Structure 1
Amino acid sequence: MAHVLVPAGSFNCLGGWVLDTQFVSIMGGPYLLAHGLGKPVSDALTTVEFPEPGTYHLSVYTSNWTFPWKKGYSPGVFQLSVNGEVLSPIFGTHEGTWDWEYGGTVDVSSTTVQLALKDLTGFEGRCGFLYFSTEKQEVLPLDPREIFSLYREAKQPPLASYSFDFVVVGGGIAGMCAALCAARQGLRTALIQDREVFGGNNSSEVRVWLGGLTNLKPFEGIGNIVGEFEQERIGHYGAENQADLYEDARKRSILEQEENLSVFSSAILMESRVDGSAIASVLAWQYRSDALLRFEAPLFCDCTGDGALGSMSGADFEVTTNGHMGMTNIWYVEKTDSKVDFPSCPWAVDLKEVEFPGRAEVKDVYDNQREMSLGCWFWESGCELDPIVYAEYARDLNFRAMYGAWDCLKNHDHDYPNHRLGFAAYIGGKRESRRLLGDVILTKAEVMADRPYKDGCIPSTWNFDVHYPDRRFYAAFHEGDGFLTKDYRERYRTPYFIPYRCLYSRNISNLFMAGRDISVTHDALGAARVMRTCGMMGEVVGYAASMCKTLGVSPRQLYEKHLVKLLSKLQALENREVPKPNVKVQMHNDQ
């Protein structure tokens, strides 16, 4: 039997499609997303070598993404072109989410085949894999691990092995700061990021501003590296929140210019090998080049936000599955010089009979109105759902809320006649998921009581700031899922210094963590989660990792035997703070 597997992540030219890597643990791989905001996107193209000419059965791994809410609709559909001939099947129409749709037979006359994905709607059609086989496959895998096994068997991707002193997984602000700090301390460091873009929530893909204060006594040098990644200009709301504000290229350049730092982008963590209580190696899938990468190191750091490396390695963790902070997909509208139509979206959330921010004179949590209220941070979903299992569901609910609101405004209210959807983030801005457990699990009560820890070293200055569905808009949640939130805040004496013992795993001996997956409770995360604070966690981890190598100790042993040395090192750092004219503004806005 001859067969060919074509992963969406390896298409040569994406055209107008985008690559979504957020949900690999749910559905099995990166997928191409037709994120056209209601306008069909240009074709994704690739060239594939077949083992032999002949007649092949085609199966397409795709999702009818609105099926969990609305039966009988298929808003995200596409066709496949083979050597310039458009096949008749329309994909994305089955009754369910991720599954293999049979596409009939394809006659291949040459071993070199040109493929094109042809979007039909611009409404979030998605394709994960194409599978061609000379024998019809009645059953193809749906379990993500089995899909990865199919990929390895069918593609036989090359495997490259690396050895480093320190491996950081996750290229958001925390991961960038951890990796850069460790490299400058002399560690041969690897930074693994599942996107081409670095910065995480503070990238042009998500567009969340930095929060928190840095460079505070007695650790005046903690925050120096965060300062290097500061953006020069900010734009919080509406169409002012433009991509160029996030300086993606400059962030990446800082990382790539560091001598001891090796950067691996478009690389998804797939496996962890544990020897006893320590991580021995991790395996990443570099999906754009169809390669596997193995990394060995004595020390690792989980900066994935979701605690992906820790959970994969057997680290203890907690997750609040109901009543946690949710996910936002920032979006905005922009005015044009002429009338702009928008298609009806009967599969979206029906908002015609309810109030929502941005409609008429309805005010949001800051008393803003109209377009300044559309698509802001409080368009947030998933608070009542498992943030790992239902992550794609939550993101897609955000899509349906956005499209439903815009359909209502344009086609029912006949408002915003000259406006169009200008931007919508398809990468979700998460606030909370897994929290890896360390030797200290910091609680809100301890922070409120200003209880000091002798190893406190990361200043927390953001309010306790947690989000729950906004009661004012419960009528909009008639399907049962909330997607508009309100922030609930409490102040405490600042700065409060988060202890070092929150930054390493209590049961995986060589695992650090930095970012929103550190060892705190749900409520305490409301203060610790903002990105300048997360970046300082990364800096502390970078210094600690360097000392672990020099002293030949584990992260826990560094605390037990050398805490004075660690704190002395951190306190001796000089302030090289980059001026931040936006800090005062940011401390009074949310994210």
Structure 2
Amino acid sequence: MIEKEFSKNGRLFKDVIFDTDLVIVGAGMSGICAAITAARAGIKVILLQDRPVVGGNASSEVRLWVLGATSHMGNNNRWSREGGVIDEILVENLYKNKEGNPIIFDTILLDKIKQEKNITLLLNTVVYDLEKSEANIIKKIFGFNSQNETKYTITAPLFCDASGDGVLGYMSGARYRIGAEDRLKYGERFAPDITKYGELLGHSIYFYSKDAGSPVKYIAPSYALKDITKIPRFGNINTGEHGCKFWWLEYGGRKDTIHDTEEIKWELWSIVYGVWNYIKNSGNFKNVENLTLEWVGVIPGKRESRRFDGLYTLTQQDIIEQRHHKDAIAYGGWAIDLHPADGVYSGESGCTQYHSKGIYEMPYRCFISKDIENLFFAGRIISTSHVAHGSSRVMATSAFGAQAVGMAAAQCIKERLLPADILQEQKLKVLQQALNLAGQHIPRIPIDRSRNLVDSAYIEASSNLVLRQIPFDGSWYQLDFSAAQMLPLNPSINYEFEVQLDVLQPTSLNVELRYAEKAGNYTPDCIAEKWEYSLQPGIQRLKISSKAFLLTQQYAFITFIKNESVKIRTSTKRYTGLLSVFNKFNIAVNNHGKQEPPLNSGIDAFEFWCPERRPEGHNIAMNIQPAITAFDPANVTNGFTRPTMTSNAWVAALEDEYPELKFCWPAQQTVKRVRLYFDTDFDHPMESVQMGHPESRIPFCIRNFKLLNEKRELIAEVIDNYQTICSINFSEPMKLNEIVLQMEKAENNIPCSLFQIYIEKGIS
């Protein structure tokens, strides 16, 4: 029993003092990925979150799916899902939660954090003050948790603001801006007319509904929107959608999106409950008697508020022109996605999305405060223009950049640096290499081979894929839409392709050989050759003979133009680094088959060629002469962990049930770690919630494998792997002349494959 006498001087809350290496304010996807990356790199992290769950807009409190450069597979960014920790989280979620339950996603995020011994997570903790040692140096911060009545005082040499609104940057005095720059500021021709379109993106609140199994009455609260016609797009409301499919229930772009958030929230509640009242009681919808509200968000999902000045500001030109930056540490690929400030009450389209022809690089300088020397930024508050923010703000892109912050912070602690010091050429290379080894994938920058023991090894494979044929064993695809097979072709080679057609009536079929003008892109904007074939009815073979046309190794598109009188044979066989794509549409991301931007907007016009999600999206069956030899064992040392200009993968022969890769050295090596980089289909977007996925594990990924020594003795074994990166850490370094990687084929129609193997030297 506790009894306390009256205290005339009052009482103080409990005060807990921490001293750590890195403080991260905000545990949305950016804060989480930064924290895990830093912790794994060996430094102590305190991660503060002002909510009871982590994940920010991805959490069960808001329920927006995590998405980035893949854009629902609705753009031309092939194999572009973000790597590293954000990939690990999404793959984990797919395995445990392919249906997209947001409650389960909460637990996956919390579990990832709790597994890291170097992270201290403080939930329900608001940062309310800070102290500086100098005008441009933060010394400590102060937080308060109302649930346990505890104040926290946390001192650290480095801080990261991943809070969404930039609470740390704001209190530190760092310069920032809110709203849209005019066109003259950065020469951005897509900058909005703020007098009409407005300057800010608004907030959204979502709802979930369910069938209760029996009639449910609904009486709207007094604050619910009464007149549904105030929403110009009310005709888009339907009973088949819920959650973030209602992203366009948006409001607040005309207000202060920080200080007016509570007012904005009430208006969004009014809209949501008014929409539900319309669904239930208007009489305009069938079969709604049994429907009931299961959940309505209690906090808004925010899109935009402060953006802080860094050492570089990302602009429209960086995105559309895909500009190269020496300090690239991540990439983006979501469309430039701007919304009218009036949101749901606007008569305009709910969003204006325009894509670039490929992914764009994100420089490290955008994540460093221009004013506060020991402050990083992460998430939607990084240094961008309003236009560029329309792309960089999405969660997977934000988290991807934040991983670089976590790795840079660890490098700063170990080398006694400030964030800007890493911009020195050699230190920047150290950062980029550490990120790539962790699976980041930075465009144009491979993993350094010089420290990989595999680089000095003789490599022998039990087999490798020589692609002479994509077997003719699949269904027929009617050319209602144009289709193309993407193949990694070599320059200076004349190829012949033979396909099988089922022609329904006399017709002419147009075939084109296409490629991307910018090598490394997957927008087939150049036509090397074109043919027109007169066809008679019946099943038949068609040969297409091409002349050499490529200047470098890259993907080409064997393209069959839309013709409803023709069917083309597909294959049941799938291979790492091969895709079929279609000139269809995905209205959700403003893909109507072709992008036609406004005149003088500085944005390119081009066609969209996108894959279909499994179980659809089969390769086009064909014979290929000469055979494509882009899958040999040398690929596992080239430093790339996904397809780029070629497959970048070793692929075994399809019939090889237990393929092996053998690595031999002329002298004994001391090995401490083996990292394997598998194919988890970086083209699949893996939306974290609501969307649902056809499988819980990616079929290309190796599940079971063994490592053997030169005596064929087992030195490591992994059963039921589903992750992209698998690390084998030996408790004591092993002395080896040879390592054999033995894999087990798990899918009849998919051969085993491996992108990279990185073998680290130990100290003998």
TM-score > 0.5 by shorter chain: yes
**Offset of residue 165 of structure 1:** 0.7
**Contact 2:200/2:341, CA 8 A, preserved across alignment:** no
Please name the residue that 1:144 is paired with: none
Q: CA deviation at 1:324?
A: 1.4
Q: Secondary structure at the match of 1:426?
A: coil
Say if 2:256 is the partner of 1:386: yes
- State the shift of 1:309 in Å: 0.9
Matching residue of 1:263: 121
Question: 1:84 maps to what in 2?
Answer: none
Cα distance change of structure 1 residues 414 and 463 upon mapping to structure 2, 3 Å threshold: closer
Specify the SS of the correspondent of 2:278.
helix
- Report whether the alignment pairs 1:184 with 2:40: yes
Q: What is the CA–CA distance in structure 1 between the aligned matches of 2:679 and 2:267, rounded to whole Å?
A: 39
- After superposition, give the CA deviation of every residue in 1:458-501 in whole Å (9 maximum; x if it has no partner): 11111111222689x7xxx4xxxx69961211111322111000
1:452 counterpart residue number: 324
Aligned-pair CA distance for 1:432:
1.1
Instruction: Tell me, yes or no, if structure 1 residue 504 matches structure 2 residue 368.
Output: yes
Could you list the per-position Cα deviations for residues 376-421 of structure 1 after superposition, in whole angstroms to 9, with x for gaps in the alignment?
A: 1111111111111211111111101112222334344375332211
Q: Which has the larger radius of gyration?
A: 2
Q: Deviations over 1:189-226 (max 9, x none)?
A: 11111122111111111111111249xx9x99972211
Q: Give the secondary-structure state (helix, strand or coil) at the position aligned to 1:430.
A: coil
**Partner amino acid for 2:44?**
R
After superposition, where does 1:111-510 map in structure 2 within 5 Å?
Answer: 156-213=12-69, 223-230=83-90, 231-232=93-94, 242-244=101-103, 246-276=104-134, 277-320=136-179, 322-353=198-229, 362-363=235-236, 369-372=238-241, 376-413=246-283, 415=285, 416-468=288-340, 477=345, 486-510=350-374
8 Å Cα contact 2:166-2:306 kept in structure 1 = yes
- Pair 1:516 & 2:376 matched: no
CA distance in 1, matches of 2:229, 2:431: 59
Q: Is the CA contact (8 Å cut-off) linking 2:310 and 2:365 kept in structure 1?
A: yes
Q: 1:181 to 1:586 in 2, by over 3 A?
A: closer
Change beyond 3 A, Cα 1:466–1:310: same
SS in 1 for 2:227: coil
Q: Partners in 2 of 1:422 and 1:352 — Cα distance?
A: 21
User: 2:94 corresponds to which letter in structure 1?
Assistant: E
Q: CA deviation at 1:323?
A: 2.4
1:43-97 deviation line (CA, Å, top 9, x unaligned): xxxx998967xxxxxxxxxxxxxxxxxxxxxxxxxxxxxxxxxxxxxxxxxxxxx
- Equivalent of residue 684 in structure 2, options 583, 586, 589: 583
- Distance of aligned partners of 1:241 and 1:564 in 2 relative to their CA distance in 1, 3 Å threshold: closer
Q: Cα offset for 1:234?
A: 11
**In structure 2, C-alpha distance between the alignment counterparts of 1:267 and 1:520, rounded to whole Å:** 28
Distance 1:418 1:226, change over 3 A: same
Q: Which residue of 1 aligns with 2:407?
A: 543
Q: Residues 346 and 301 (structure 1 numbering): CA distance in 2 closer, same or farther, change over 3 Å?
A: same
- 1:578 deviates by 7.9
Sort the Cα spacing of 1:234 and 1:559 in 2 relative to 1 into closer, same or farther, 3 A: same
Q: Report the Cα distance in structure 2 between the residues aligned to 1:350 and 1:155, rounded to whole angstroms.
A: 49
- Whether contact under 8 Å (2:81, 2:682) holds in the other structure is no
Contact 1:329-1:424 at 8 Å conserved across structures: yes
Q: Residues 284 and 584 from structure 1, CA distance in 2 versus in 1: closer, same or farther, beyond 3 angstroms?
A: closer
Q: Aligned AA for 1:404?
A: G
AA partner of residue 567 (structure 1): Q
Distance verdict in 2 for CA 1:393–1:155, change over 3 Å:
farther
Give the direction of change, closer, same or farther, for the CA distance of 1:259–1:577 in structure 2 (3 Å limit): farther
Report Cα offsets for 1:296-316 as digits up to 9, x if no partner.
000000111111111111111
Question: Is the CA contact (8 Å cut-off) linking 1:159 and 1:293 kept in structure 2?
Answer: yes
Q: Decide which moves more: 269-278 or 496-505.
A: 269-278
Alignment partners' CA distance in 2, 1:384 and 1:577: 47
Contact 1:381 / 1:483 at 8 angstroms: preserved in 2?
no
Contact between 2:200 and 2:304, CA under 8 Å: does it hold in 1? yes
**Residues 49 and 519 of structure 1, relative CA distance in 2, 3 Å threshold:** farther
- TM-fit CA distance, 1:267: 0.9
- Equivalent position SS for 1:502: helix
SS for the counterpart of 1:508 is coil
1:354–1:557 Cα change, 3 Å = closer
Q: 1:400 to 1:220 in 2, by over 3 A?
A: closer
Q: In 1, are the aligned partners of 2:68 and 2:82 still within 8 Å (CA)?
A: no
Partners of 2:304 and 2:380 within 8 A in 1: yes
CA distance in 2, matches of 1:402, 1:222: 33
TM-score by length of 2: 0.51
Per the TM alignment, residue 326 of structure 1 is displaced from its structure 2 partner at its CA by: 1.4
Asked if 1 retains the 8 angstrom alpha-carbon contact of 2:81 and 2:683, the reply is no
For the 8 Å contact 1:300–1:512, the answer to whether it is kept is yes
In structure 2, the CA distance between the partners of 1:407 and 1:289, relative to structure 1 (3 Å rule), is: same
Amino acid at match of 2:144: W
Name the SS of the counterpart of 2:85 in structure 1: helix
Question: Does the 8 Å CA contact 2:54/2:109 hold for their aligned counterparts?
Answer: yes
**Would you say the 8 A contact 1:340–1:418 is kept in 2?**
yes
Q: Note the C-alpha offset of 1:567.
A: 2.7
Deviating more after overlay: 297-306 vs 323-332: 323-332
Partner of 1:345, secondary structure, is coil
Name the CA shift for 1:194/1:584 in 2 (closer, same or farther; >3 Å): closer
Cα deviation per residue 1:245-299 (whole Å; 9 max; x = unaligned)?
x421222122112121111111111111122211100011012100000110000
Distance in 2 of aligned mates of 1:377 and 1:565: 40
Q: Aligned pairs, how many?
A: 423
Preserved contact between residue 470 and residue 484 of structure 1 (Cα < 8 Å): no
Distance 1:229 1:396 in 2: 33
1:329-368 per-position Cα deviation (integer Å, ceiling 9, x unaligned)? 11132222222222243432222555666x6xx236xxxx
Structure 2 letter corresponding to 1:204: S
Equivalent residue number for residue 556 of structure 1: 420
Partner residue, 2:543: none
What is the root-mean-square deviation in Å for CA atoms of aligned residues? 3.5
Kept in 1: contact 2:232–2:347 (CA 8 A)? no
Contact persistence 1:320–1:386 (CA under 8 A) = no
SS of the residue 1:279 aligns to: strand
Q: Is the 8 A contact 1:459 1:496 kept in 2?
A: yes
Q: Is the contact made by 1:198 and 1:251 (CA closer than 8 Å) also made in structure 2? A: yes
